[in-house]
Structure formats: C-alpha cells, structure tokens
Structure 1
Amino acid sequence: MLSTRLKLESGTAADEDRSTVPVSGSNLVVRASDGRSFSENEREFLREVFDLIRLSEESDARLRAFEDRVARLESENLDLLMQNRTLSEISARDTLTGLYNRWYVMEKIDSEMNRALRHGAPMSVLMLDLDHFKNVNDSFGHSVGDQVLKNVGQVLRESCRVYDVPGRYGGEEFCIVLPETRVGNTSAVAERIRSRLAQTKIPIGNTSLTVTASIGVAGMDSVSDEGVVSAAALLDRADRALYSAKHHGRNRVELWLPESPPSSTSH
C-alpha cells in the first residue's frame, strides 16, 4: 500500500525517473508529494490503477457513443415512419375532394364487417349520389363541376364524426362508412347530410348554385342480421336503396329493404 500523498502534474516520465509514474493515455504524471521515489511494486500498482481508470473512461465513452447512435437511429426510424404514414395517407385520398378514395373505403368496409362479425358490433354504410350532376357539367363546364365536388367533400367531412370514413366512390357518387352505428340511427345522419347539401350555396363566379343528393342506407345491426357476408353485398344493398331514392323523386333518403328494387347502372 502507498503511504504517501500523490500529486498530479503535466509532463512525461523518463524511464530512469523513479519519482514519477505516467498516467496511461494522457500527458500527466504522478509523483509523491514528499518527492521520494516509488518502489517497483508501488509503480506497478499505480500503473494498474491508471489502466483501470482509462479502461473505465473508454467504456463510458463507448457507451455514450452507443446511446447517441441508438437515439439517432430511433429518430431516423420515427422520421421514416412518419414519412410512410404520410405517403400511405396520400395514397388513400381522392386528389380532388380530399376524401378517402374508393379502394380505401372498400378496405374499411371489409375491416369493419370483420369486427362486427367478431364482436357483434353494428355498422352502416351510406351511398350518396348527386342529383342531375350531368346538368352542372353541361351548363357550367367541368371546372365548375369539380368545384361542386370539392364543396360536397367539405360538407361530408364537416357532417361526419371523427371515426366515420367519408369517401368518393367514383364520379359524383360518395360512400360513408359509419362504425358502431345502427341502421336506424344512420337515417338521421343521412338526412342531416342531405339537408346541408340542399342548403349549401356554392359560389360560381358572380352567382351561386345548389345541388341535392339522393342517399341509400344499409347496414348490419347484429351478427345474425340479413346474412351479409361481404363488402360488395353490403354496398349492393346501399346502392339498391340509393336507386329507390332516385326512383321516388330524388333529394331523399331511403333505407334498404328486402323488396328494394335492383340498382341501375345509371342514377
């Protein structure tokens, strides 16, 4: 054991200098405070202590470098995840209206139907078609028609709950998926959307116009309901209800009933 106090100084130790011991990995030396020389055992002991200190510092440095690298990788992965989510969101959107596109809506109907079958939860679907939309394009041009579709998309977004899925199904036809919603309650939602559309004035140059919509409603209130087994079958029911709304005068909401007439390819 050392029985003297030590001093830490800058400098290097000559091989023949027994009064100093170099601190490994640095430009420092240790000498006895009373200036005496170290025995060989003391020198060896000090060198071992300094080696352990150096190794500990190097290990700490490597650990800090590793932690920094892990933090950078986590940040990079988070950025990549956010970019992928953004791309996925963009690919699921209709570029004109900003609503979800047909393929996303179909996938959502599939997933909600599976959930309904597993847990017995209700779900509903609205099919909405603008009345006489061809007249808008013929009378005002397709750019005005596009503006009308954008405004309809905004009305649908504002009329839906945060977990509803409003989408553009194609052309002037729209589809809204309503999870956890019984068919009877869906009629009120559909009527609210129909009324808002009919009351919304769409600015067109120095004038404005309004459009109306016919809406068909179908859904599943329980697992035992109706034997609906696919998204296509459920959409067909909503489409048949939509056709019934068109057939009975347009600008109205109709529920699917077993006696609903087959849908037509032209609304």
Structure 2
Amino acid sequence: MSLNSTDFGLTTLQVNSGFSKILAEKFEAKIARFERVGMGLFSVANCFVSFGRVTGRSGLTEHSITEMEAAFSDEFPLSEEIVVISDLSAHHEFAQHRFVSGVPSIRFFVSFPVYGQDGKLVACLRLLDYKPHIFDDEQRLLLADLAVLVERELALSAVCQNQVELMKQNRRLKRDTLVDPLLGTWNKPAIVRSLRLEMERCAKAGKPMSLLFLLADQITELRAKHGTVLADQILVRMVSRIRSCIRPFDALGRFDNDQFLIVLPGASHLVAMAVAERIRLTIKMHSEWIENAGISLTVCIGLASTDVHRDEDPEILISLAEKALLSAKRAGNNTVVQAMPGQPDMMI
C-alpha cells in the first residue's frame, strides 16, 4: 500500500511556529529556563525546580558544587509549607550540616510550593546561596509570581501533550477510513486518490506512470463453494504475495470485492508488463490447500500506462485498464493484457 500518509492529509496538524517551538522544546530545557530566571532575579548561587529529586540531573559527579547543592535540596521533602532560612549557619538544625559547615558552605535556603492543574503539590522552587539573605515580603511575592509561571508552564505542557495525542488519534482515525479493514490495503476512494496524485506528480516530473487492474480468478467460486471466511483468508495471503512483487512506494488498493488497483509511479508500459508478469507467476506458483486438495490460483491483469495513453485523466486510465482486464478474462484465466491505442479487443 505504500502511499505516504501525507498524500491523504494525514500529517500532524499544521500549527503555527510558536506552537511548533513549544512541542519541539524538551521539558528539561523549559525548567532550566525558570531556574536561570530565579538565579538572576534573586541573585543566588542556584535555583532548582524540584519534583522530588534533582541530584543526578546535572550529569556532574557527586563531588561537584552543583551536585552538592542538589543533594542538600533533596534532603527537604516536597512540602506546601514555605521554608525560608536566612542564615543556615545560625540555624539550630542545619548549623552542623556537612554542606553548611563544610564545602560548599551553603548559608541561605528557600523552598516554595508549586501546584498542578488539579491543585495538588507537584514541585517546589528552591533557592540556595553562600551568604545570608534577608528575604522580605517583596521577594516572597516575586517568588510566588515565579511559581505561578512554572505552574502555567506545567499546565501548558500538559495541554500540548494532550494536543499531540489528539492529533495522533485523529491521524489514526483518518487513516482507518482509507484502509480496507480485512486486507490492510487502501480502499477504493484512497487508491483512486493515490492514482490522481501520482499522475500529477509524474506529469510534472516528466515521468511515466502505470496502472494495473487485477482480478483474482477463482475467488468468487471458492467463496460460493467454501464460504466467505476461507475466501477472505486466501485473499489476505494473495495480497501479501502481490506486495512482495511491487516496490515500497507503489500503491495497492482494493477497488471492488476481488478486484485490485496497483499504482506504479515512474513505471513505463514495459516495466509495468514485467511487474504484472511477476505478480501473475508468483500467484500461480503458490497453491492453496483446501480440504486436503491443492488448488492453483491465478489472476488476470489489465494494465494501462501514461507513456502509451498520454494526457488521459485518471478515470479514463482506470477505464482503459479495466477494458484490458476484461480482454484478459476473455482470453482465459492467468492472463495479462496491456491497453494499446486503437486495439480492437479493447472494446467492451
């Protein structure tokens, strides 16, 4: 089946450049931006947006200053309580802490809660520095504003992720409407659209394009004698064998019941004849076993090419290939006929 999904408008929803940038940017990069803003806004050595653990995030060794700061931050569990310690060296609980009394000599620490869309605590903003700070009401308000910006970024990321999932689901649903559910080939509207698109592309590129109209000879009788389920199983295997004979970018579609269209972009009538013969021989070589009896299946194929029938529209090309198929049926099963201009037996 091998049409690109872009041919049917199934690409990810086209969005403006701003939304594209949001989708493309990694979550870690967004968080790092807020941390840089926090460092500059409050003139501190470091700022973390902690979701419970920040050690290991920097990729540095545990003996690096950044990792020591992260380890100190991680000793504080996420909490809705606003924690402000202006001077850790004067604090009864932290004065003797190894990262306070020793390297890197942390003196100042603040923790501020960050909430998710559901109002639940999801993270904390952490400020650290190596000198004491007086954290007044104005700075508390600034930190609250920064926390709100982080919350909005988290909400926007969630919305974007939901949007991406919706676009994926929409793409799958659109694709499902174009695919034959049993065989996995394009259905009739899709294969006809494929033909139109490829004819336009090949015409612009100055290349030929060919169309094969294929009919499974014995399927109707097998369906009448052995039932639909068995006939469908045989069709599934037959389609798999047809796919093995065409290129990945050729398009295969179910046109009607046991009839198939195969679009061969860039293929001349000679190449198309070779492909049709390869399909015919492949199908004939693989017998089907039904009730312990081997049955040789065959196909009839009619083909039409734009290098023979120039300037024809898709409907006429389909009609020419169909007439060639009817001529092949009249000649007997297991036959390939090519539509040629003025050929008498092309008339129905």
Give, in whole Å, the separation in 1 of the partners of 2:246 and 2:156: 42
Give, in whole Å, the separation in 2 of the partners of 1:27 and 1:129: 77
Give, in whole Å, the separation in 2 of the partners of 1:246 and 1:129: 9
Give, in whole Å, the separation in 2 of the partners of 1:27 and 1:137: 77
For residues 211-242 of structure 1, give each alpha carbon's deviation from its aligned partner in whole angstroms, at most 9, with x where no partner exists.
101111112249xx5221x2211101111221
Question: Given that residues 113 and 123 in structure 1 are in contact (C-alpha distance below 8 angstroms), is that contact kept between their aligned partners in structure 2?
Answer: yes
Question: Given that residues 243 and 263 in structure 1 are in contact (C-alpha distance below 8 angstroms), is that contact kept between their aligned partners in structure 2?
Answer: no
Give, in whole Å, the separation in 1 of the partners of 2:148 and 2:84: 23
For residues 232-256 of structure 1, give each alpha carbon's deviation from its aligned partner in whole angstroms, at most 9, with x where no partner exists.
1110111122122223333122221
Give, in whole Å, the separation in 1 of the partners of 2:85 and 2:328: 95
Structure 1 residues 174 and 27: alpha-carbon distance in aligned structure 2, compared to 1, 3 A threshold: closer
% identity of equivalent residues: 29
Structure 1 residues 121 and 68: alpha-carbon distance in aligned structure 2, compared to 1, 3 A threshold: farther
TM-fit CA distance, 1:191: 1.1
- 1:1-267 alignment, distance < 5 Å: 50-221=136-307, 226-228=310-312, 230-260=313-343, 261-262=345-346, 264=348
Give, in whole Å, the separation in 2 of the partners of 1:60 and 1:83: 35
Give, in whole Å, the separation in 2 of the partners of 1:134 and 1:221: 34
Over aligned residues, Cα RMSD in angstroms?
2.7
Higher-Rg member (1/2): 1
Matched with 2:94 is none
Which letter maps to 1:181? A
Q: What TM-score results when the alignment is normalised by the length of structure 1?
A: 0.73
Question: Given that residues 239 and 263 in structure 1 are in contact (C-alpha distance below 8 angstroms), is that contact kept between their aligned partners in structure 2?
Answer: no
TM-fit CA distance, 1:111: 1.4
Q: What TM-score results when the alignment is normalised by the length of structure 2?
A: 0.57
Give, in whole Å, the separation in 2 of the partners of 1:154 and 1:179: 20
Give, in whole Å, the separation in 2 of the partners of 1:136 and 1:149: 11
For residues 72-107 of structure 1, give each alpha carbon's deviation from its aligned partner in whole angstroms, at most 9, with x where no partner exists.
122112211211121122211222322111111111
TM-fit CA distance, 1:173: 0.9
Which letter maps to 1:166? L
Which letter maps to 1:94? D
- Deviating 4+ runs (over 6 angstroms): none
Structure 1 residues 134 and 26: alpha-carbon distance in aligned structure 2, compared to 1, 3 A threshold: closer
Q: How many residues align?
A: 223
Give, in whole Å, the separation in 1 of the partners of 2:84 and 2:222: 88
Where structure 1 has 5 or more consecutive residues not aligned to the other structure, the ranges are 1-24, 34-45
Give, in whole Å, the separation in 2 of the partners of 1:214 and 1:171: 15
TM-fit CA distance, 1:196: 0.8
Structure 1 residues 127 and 60: alpha-carbon distance in aligned structure 2, compared to 1, 3 A threshold: same
TM-fit CA distance, 1:263: 5.5
Where structure 2 has 5 or more consecutive residues not aligned to the other structure, the ranges are 1-80, 90-132
